[in-house]
């Protein structure tokens, strides 16, 4: 990026932003800064005062700090820690307590002195809270203030639990939680109704007094609020915007969380860019949306009036550019006859319904094309089964035992034990082994029923039950060697030519991201020919048309069949245990997104379809190379192909855009 571009970016981005594509690299980067601070302070004989956060975002940082302690001798004896917040009321021993979170994820693994650990208590009597919060502030001041503060960011833009309306001068206090915040936490508490309505939090002023602040954000679901916090005006409705006034605050974000920043989404607006095929497609689609014109109707003036003069200048006029992008887009569309036949394929599904939710249309077409398909369900998904579902099956089994010979008193006793457990179970309690097994079986049976909708058989379903998931809690273990080995064994056995992987990074409980991590690790060790990797989305978000390499059209009947397969997952229907902020059923989300993708394609001037699924494709771990058709072959006014299921580029040459950013 040129100096002028850097200046324009700085004008838009009102706080420094470091974009690191891989979360583990962010964790190492921030942990290294903290380690350097600890060592510098120790050498000076001073305490290193850390402000710490909870949740999934900082866990990687804490794991890296633990590694530095164990392997490189990082000494925490001079560290004083203050945590941002805690739910109220909250027993410190509860599995939902931030006290427990911090000890399990950091403090018990390093040599920090217990008296140097400060975490707001959620069990303080209500009449004593004000005095307690005042003492918390006094203790921070007594040790000289916070040297380094870690922050996450909520979807409302809250830092700590400073919800919309929090003032710049606010201090540690009891606050009421915003509805969106409580919905976001519902997965951890097994239902929004179990989430506390209040919390104790450091105030904005307390946070702003830290000498250095690192805000961490990952995932597509954080992209809109990151843009608002970085590029928007300062507002008490978005507490993170106050960080624009801090002299040493930095946002550390992954590529997904940075996706809505102007320099990433529309880099041509902030200065010169290095034009690639992917960026050309991205720009032309954006221009089409801004002007309301189809691709082939864009004119040179449209480009010049929307910061795209340098792009149109590469082609001399709008016509050749429009034609090249139109053909690149049209070649992405692949109906059944252009999809693989006779291939060995493994479809990896993180949960036992992601296959039909996200790629049910593709799965149906691949089966019809006679491919050798295995659907590998990576986790049991058992924590996402309501207890009332288990009770329904227990009643069925009880009646079965009483009706048919061979099912005796032993089964009845076991059913009684399971029901007794459920009677005493409190929200958030870990299920007994029998209940977990029952929930696993429920989801496996639903998964088989789902693929049978397409004419597939139960023999095509593999249930991997990866160990990292088997905690019985929302919080999972890190991906380990055993998880990778299970996936590697399947790859070695089936030797797939293609695999399908969930690339949905907005999954609210992180399982999709972890399952993808396990697959990538297995592929690095795999000795067979590298398979093509097709990434799907759909449960939480869909690939944008500009990023997708392949668009698969679905007829109305095919979409209905896909929805029918989703209906087979009865334990997830009507109300999903982990809906995120979108409370619609999964089939409703799928219908809207698949139809929405087709509508975008239609507005671009491409053939009209009822619905579409989108995929990003990688070969040998790298983006598929875009095949460029010389402008001279296109002419200035390319003729649209006839409407049909599978249009192609001129001369039958396909152009697959690489889903990368410049």
Q: Kindly report, residue by residue over 381-394, the tens digit of the pLDDT.
A: 998 899 999 999 99
Q: What are the angstrom distances between the C-alpha of 460 and each of 344, 515, 637?
A: 12, 20, 48
Q: Kindly report, residue by residue over 139-188, the tens digit of the pLDDT.
A: 999 999 999 999 999 989 999 999 999 999 999 999 999 988 888 887 77
Task: Decide if pLDDT at 404 tops 90.
Answer: no
Task: Decide if pLDDT at 19 tops 80.
Answer: yes
Q: d(Cα 454, Cα 363) in Å, to the nearest integer?
A: 8
Task: Decide if pLDDT at 633 tops 90.
Answer: no
SS (H, E, C) 438-474: HHHHHHHHHHHHHHHCCCCCHHHEEECCCHHHCCCCC
289 phi, psi to nearest 5 deg: -70, -40
In this structure, the dihedral spanned by the alpha carbons of residues 648, 654, 659 and 662, taken in order and rounded to 10 degrees, is -110
Q: Kindly report, residue by residue over 528-580, the tens digit of the pLDDT.
A: 999 999 999 966 788 999 999 999 999 999 999 999 999 999 998 877 655 55
Give the pLDDT confidence score for residue 405 in this predicted structure. Answer: 65
Q: What is the mean pLDDT of residues 77-106?
A: 95
Q: Kindly report, residue by residue over 295-354, the tens digit of the pLDDT.
A: 999 999 999 999 999 999 999 999 999 999 999 999 999 999 999 999 999 999 999 999
Residues 6+ apart with CB under 8 A from 71: none
Give the CA count within 13 Å in the CB-facing half-sphere of 302.
22
99-103, long-range: CB < 8 A, 24+ apart: 101/54, 102/52, 102/54
Which element (helix H / strand E) includes 84?
none
Asked if the domains 8-262 and 338-385+441-624 are classified in one and the same CATH topology, the answer is yes
Residue 547 designated active-site: no
SS (H, E, C) 155-213: CCCCECCECCCCCCCCCCEEEECCHHHHHHHCCCCCCHHHCCCEEEECCHHHHHCCCEE
- ∠ at Cα 435 (433, 436), nearest 5°? 65
Residues 6+ apart with CB under 8 A from 363: 347, 355, 356, 373, 375, 451, 454, 456
Q: Are 275 and 311 in contact (CB under 8 A)?
A: yes
Domain boundaries, given as residue ranges, for the chain: 8-262, 274-330, 338-385+441-624
Tell me the sheet residues that pair with 501.
535
Q: What is the mean pLDDT of residues 416-425?
A: 94
**Surface-to-core class of residue 418, CB atoms within 10 Å of its CB (0-12 exposed, 13-18 middle, 19+ buried):** buried
Task: Give me the chain's average pLDDT, please.
Answer: 88
Q: How confident is the model at residue 507 (pLDDT cuts 50, 70, 90)?
A: low
In this structure, the dihedral spanned by the alpha carbons of residues 125, 128, 133 and 139, taken in order and rounded to 10 degrees, is -100
Return the SS3 of 376: strand
Peptide bond into 89 cis (omega under 30): yes
At which residue do the structure tokens 């009677």 appear? 423
SS (H, E, C) 632-646: HHCCCCCCCCCCCCC
Q: How confident is the model at residue 644 (pLDDT cuts 50, 70, 90)?
A: very low
At which residue do the structure tokens 């010049």 appear? 304
Q: Kindly report, residue by residue over 233-246, the tens digit of the pLDDT.
A: 999 999 999 999 99
Q: d(Cα 166, Cα 235) in Å, to the nearest integer?
A: 9
Question: Which of these is catalytic: 13, 137, 163, 585?
Answer: 163
Q: Would you say domain 338-385+441-624 falls under CATH 3.40.47.10?
A: no
Q: d(Cα 617, Cα 527) in Å, to the nearest integer?
A: 21
Select from 128, 148, 142 the least CA-distant residue to 48: 148
Q: d(Cα 543, Cα 659) in Å, to the nearest integer?
A: 10
Tell me the sheet residues that pair with 551.
333, 614
Tell which CATH classification among 3.40.50.1360, 3.40.50.1010, 3.40.50.620, 3.10.150.10 matches the domain 8-262: 3.40.50.1360
Tell me the sheet residues that pair with 176.
198
Q: Kindly report, residue by residue over 182-212, the tens digit of the pLDDT.
A: 888 877 777 788 899 999 999 999 999 999 9
* DSSP letter, residue 608: P
% residues pLDDT > 90 (the chain): 75
Q: d(Cα 194, Cα 181) in Å, to the nearest integer?
A: 13
Return the SS3 of 476: coil
Q: How confident is the model at residue 473 (pLDDT cuts 50, 70, 90)?
A: low
Q: d(Cα 343, Cα 44) in Å, to the nearest integer?
A: 64
Give the range among 47-56, 266-275, 406-415, 559-568 with minimum mean pLDDT: 406-415
Task: Decide if pLDDT at 441 tops 50.
Answer: yes
At 224, list the tokens. 């809109």
Residues 6+ apart with CB under 8 A from 50: 34, 79, 80, 81, 82, 146, 147, 148, 149, 150
Give the range among 368-377, 397-406, 561-570, 607-616 with minimum mean pLDDT: 397-406
């Amino acid at each position: 990026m040129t100096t002028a571009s850097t200046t324009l970016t700085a004008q838009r981005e009102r706080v420094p932003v470091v974009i690191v594509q891989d979360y583990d690299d962010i964790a190492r980067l921030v942990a290294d800064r903290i380690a350097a601070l600890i060592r510098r302070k120790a050498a000076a004989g001073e305490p290193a005062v850390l402000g710490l956060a909870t949740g999934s975002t900082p866990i990687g940082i804490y794991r890296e700090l633990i590694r530095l302690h164990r392997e490189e001798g990082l000494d925490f004896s001079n560290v004083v820690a203050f945590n941002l917040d805690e739910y109220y009321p909250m027993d410190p021993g509860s599995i939902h307590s931030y006290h427990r979170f911090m000890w399990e994820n950091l403090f018990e693994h390093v040599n920090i002195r217990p008296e140097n650990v400060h975490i707001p208590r959620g069990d303080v009597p209500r009449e004593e809270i004000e005095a307690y919060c005042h003492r918390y502030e006094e203790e921070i001041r007594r040790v000289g203030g916070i040297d380094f503060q870690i922050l996450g960011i909520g979807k409302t833009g809250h830092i700590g639990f400073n919800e919309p309306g929090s003032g710049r001068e606010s201090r540690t206090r009891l606050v009421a939680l915003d509805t969106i915040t409580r919905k976001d936490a519902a997965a951890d508490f097994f239902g929004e109704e179990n989430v506390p309505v209040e919390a104790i939090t450091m105030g904005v002023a307390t946070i702003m007094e830290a000498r250095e602040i690192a805000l961490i954000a990952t995932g597509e679901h954080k992209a809109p609020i990151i843009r608002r916090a970085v590029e928007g005006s300062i507002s008490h409705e978005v507490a993170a915007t106050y960080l624009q006034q801090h002299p040493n605050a930095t946002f550390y974000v992954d590529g997904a969380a940075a996706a809505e920043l102007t320099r990433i989404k529309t880099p041509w607006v902030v200065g010169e860019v290095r034009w690639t095929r992917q960026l050309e497609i991205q720009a032309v689609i954006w221009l089409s949306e801004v002007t309301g014109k189809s691709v082939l109707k864009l004119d040179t003036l449209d480009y010049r009036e929307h910061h795209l003069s340098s792009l149109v200048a590469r082609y001399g006029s709008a016509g050749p550019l429009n034609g090249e992008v139109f053909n690149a887009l049209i070649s992405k569309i692949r109906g059944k006859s252009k999809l693989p036949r006779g291939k060995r394929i493994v479809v990896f599904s993180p949960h036992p319904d992601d296959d039909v939710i996200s790629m049910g249309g593709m799965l149906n077409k691949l089966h019809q094309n006679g491919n050798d398909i295995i659907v590998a369900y990576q986790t049991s998904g058992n924590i996402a089964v309501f207890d009332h579902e288990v009770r329904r099956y227990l009643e069925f089994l009880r009646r079965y035992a009483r009706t048919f010979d061979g099912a005796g008193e032993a089964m009845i006793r076991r059913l009684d034990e399971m029901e007794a457990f459920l009677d005493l179970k409190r929200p958030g309690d870990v299920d007994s082994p029998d209940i977990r097994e029952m929930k696993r079986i429920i989801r496996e049976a639903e998964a088989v029923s789902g693929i049978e909708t397409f004419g597939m058989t139960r023999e095509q379903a593999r249930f991997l039950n990866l160990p990292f998931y088997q905690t019985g809690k929302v919080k999972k273990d890190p991906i380990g060697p055993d998880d990778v080995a299970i996936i590697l064994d399947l790859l070695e056995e089936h030797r797939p030519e293609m695999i399908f992987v969930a690339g949905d990074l907005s999954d609210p409980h992180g399982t999709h991201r972890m399952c993808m991590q396990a697959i990538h690790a297995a592929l690095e060790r795999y000795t067979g020919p590298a398979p093509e990797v097709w990434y799907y989305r759909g449960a939480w978000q869909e690939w944008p048309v500009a990023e997708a390499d392949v668009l698969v059209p679905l007829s109305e009947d095919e979409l209905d069949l896909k929805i029918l397969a989703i209906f087979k997952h009865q334990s997830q229907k009507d109300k999903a245990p982990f809906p995120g902020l979108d409370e619609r059923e999964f089939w409703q989300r799928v219908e809207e997104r698949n139809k929405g993708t087709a509508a975008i394609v239609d507005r671009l001037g491409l053939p009209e379809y009822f619905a579409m699924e989108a995929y990003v494709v990688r070969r040998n771990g790298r983006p598929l190379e875009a095949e460029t058709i010389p402008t001279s072959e296109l002419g200035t006014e390319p003729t649209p192909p006839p409407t049909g299921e599978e249009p192609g580029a001129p001369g039958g040459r396909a152009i697959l855009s690489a889903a990368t950013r410049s």
